[in-house]
């Protein structure tokens, strides 16, 4: 469950003002064997918007250019990255 929350947090951090700092976190872990990242580009997101259930969901997905999802294989790494994301959130 914790790993899924970290994945969601990374996805959300890739949107808006957090993008630059979230990218720094991604870059610092991209070579770590316990962490993997999947980039969804605009075309993939547009495909997902076709499956959206409401018009609001479709519009929200259309406004996103890309999403980076992180897959974290250990609880220790999840805790470490989670703490970094909490700091970002507190900074606003």
Quote the CA–CA distance of 57 and 24 in Å, as a whole number.
Answer: 28
What proportion of the chain, given as a percentage, has pLDDT over 70?
77
Count other Cβ atoms within 10 Å, centred on residue 63: 9
Amino acid 85: pLDDT: 80
Per-domain boundaries in the chain: 2-91
Q: Angle at Cα 46 formed by Cα 45 and Cα 48, nearest 5°?
A: 65
Q: How confident is the model at residue 5 (pLDDT cuts 50, 70, 90)?
A: low
pLDDT score for 40? 87
Report pLDDT digits (tens) over 72-90. Answer: 888 888 888 888 888 877 7
Does the predicted TM-score (pTM) go above 0.95? no
Check residue 22 and give its pLDDT. 73
């Amino acid at each position: 469950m914790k790993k899924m929350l970290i994945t969601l947090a990374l996805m959300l951090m890739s949107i808006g003002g957090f993008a630059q700092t979230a990218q720094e976190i991604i870059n610092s872990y991209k070579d770590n064997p316990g962490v993997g990242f999947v980039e969804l580009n605009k075309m993939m997101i547009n495909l997902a918007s076709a499956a959206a259930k409401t018009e609001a969901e479709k519009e929200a997905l259309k406004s996103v250019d890309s999403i980076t999802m992180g897959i974290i294989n250990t609880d220790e790494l999840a805790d470490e990255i989670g703490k970094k994301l909490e700091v970002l959130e507190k900074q606003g």
